[in-house]
Amino acid sequence: MASQLDQLKQFTTVVADTGDFKQLSQFTPQDATTNPSLILKAVQKPDYAPLLADTVAAHRGEALDAIVDQVLVRFGLEILKVVPGRVSTEVDARLSFDTQGTLARARRIIKLYQAAGIDRARVLIKIASTWEGIQAARELEREGVHCNLTLLFAFCQAQACGDAGVQLISPFVGRIYDWTKKAAGSAWDEAANAGVNDPGVESVTRIHAYYKQQGIRTEVMGASFRNVGQILALAGCDLLTISPELLAQLQATDASSQPVQKQLGGANIGSAAPLPPLTESAFRFALNDDAMGTEKLAEGIRAFAVDSAKLDALIEAQR
């Protein structure tokens, strides 16, 4: 019996969105993504307590931020034993407005992977899609360090990432959906805003079409899904990063009764004139003009920063 997950893999590269690497093998994803919240969730599970303790013990006496990076890379190394492709490892969200700080942490993370024998092509450095983060990614890409620009909500963020030549972006489907639904209040019609009409799906579809129209090499990876319908509506996107819970739903659904249809790419791309590269001031004004993008980017950075601080505290307690 072919599952929806099997069929989805015919159109899209499936990526697991988790730090819990012991869950990965059952879904056979190509890549995996992590973030501070996912790593924090994983290290608090009994299965991973020894990994955290061993890593902290091996680097006791080093600076806290250096030990944190060792922990992140240790999880990444375990993930790379399971997936054949790439792992995304995130730079501390508290550096989201610090280009030089982001560069320093990114370079250290990639060096740790290389010291462990991992080719840098198998690692994506995950950075928030602020102006400062995008400029750090521009420089890293010049150095041959590939990046995943995350917390992406507004089209101007995607455009700036394309201008910078980053390897991959992660537009957040579910959080766009959340904001739009909340803003609509009692006027929200769930049925009318489902599937291809979901506001998060529409955002990714627009970005994907623009990149393909303009020949921009940056990969588009839909992220932050709330339900299987959002995932299926983006079949054909370059990549989709999916939580284990939703991967399990896709795997359990018989595709013969509910087949997956390709939605993005091909004749759906259309055509459009290229946009001029964004200056810093134009980017900041466009983001400011997008209430959803502004609010969700700030909220996402705050949430990841809180979880980064919690991870710091767990490590500090064992130093």
pLDDT in tens, 239-268: 999 999 999 999 999 998 999 999 998 766
What does the pLDDT average to over 193-210?
97
* Structural domain includes residue 49: yes
Listing DSSP states for the chain in one string gives --BHHHHHHHHSEEEEE-S-GGGGGGG--SEEE--HHHHHHHHTSGGGHHHHHHHHHHTTTS-HHHHHHHHHHHHHHHHHTT-SS-EEEEPPGGGTT-HHHHHHHHHHHHHHHHHTT--GGGEEEEEE-SHHHHHHHHHHHHTT--EEEEEE-SHHHHHHHHHHT-SEEEEBHHHHHHHHHHHHGGG--TGGGSGGGSHHHHHHHHHHHHHHHHT---EEEEB--SSHHHHHTTTTSSEEEE-HHHHHHHHHSBTTTS-----SSGGG----PPPPPPPHHHHHHHHHT-HHHHHHHHHHHHHHHHHHHHHHHHHHHH-
Name the pLDDT band for 100 (thresholds 50, 70, 90).
very high
For residue 271, the model assigns a pLDDT of 77
pLDDT digits (tens, 9 = 90+) for 215-247: 999 999 999 999 999 999 999 999 999 999 999
What is the number of structural domains in the chain?
1
Average pLDDT over every residue of 202-211: 97
CATH number of the domain that residue 220 is part of? 3.20.20.70
The per-residue pLDDT for 189 is: 98
Query: For residues 96 and 318, which has the higher predicted lDDT (pLDDT)?
Result: 96
Residue 228 lies in a domain: yes
13-40 average pLDDT score: 92
pLDDT of residue 204: 98
Indicate whether 2 belongs to any domain: no
The confidence score (pLDDT) of residue 268 equals 64
For residue 270, the model assigns a pLDDT of 72
Q: Active-site residue 126, yes or no?
A: yes
**In the predicted structure, residue 22 carries a pLDDT above the cut 80:** yes
Average pLDDT score over residue span 5-30: 94
The pLDDT, as a whole number, for residue 319 is 81
Q: What pLDDT is attached to residue 303?
A: 96
pLDDT at 196: 96
pLDDT at 267: 65
Whether 85 is covered by a domain: the verdict is yes
State the maximum Cα–Cα separation within the chain, in Å, rounded to a whole number: 58
Q: Is 1 a domain residue?
A: no
Domain limits at 236? 7-318
Is residue 279 one of the residues assigned to a domain? yes
Digit-coded pLDDT (tens) for 111-127: 999 999 999 999 999 99
Q: Of these residues, 126, 181, 212, 296, which one is catalytic? A: 126
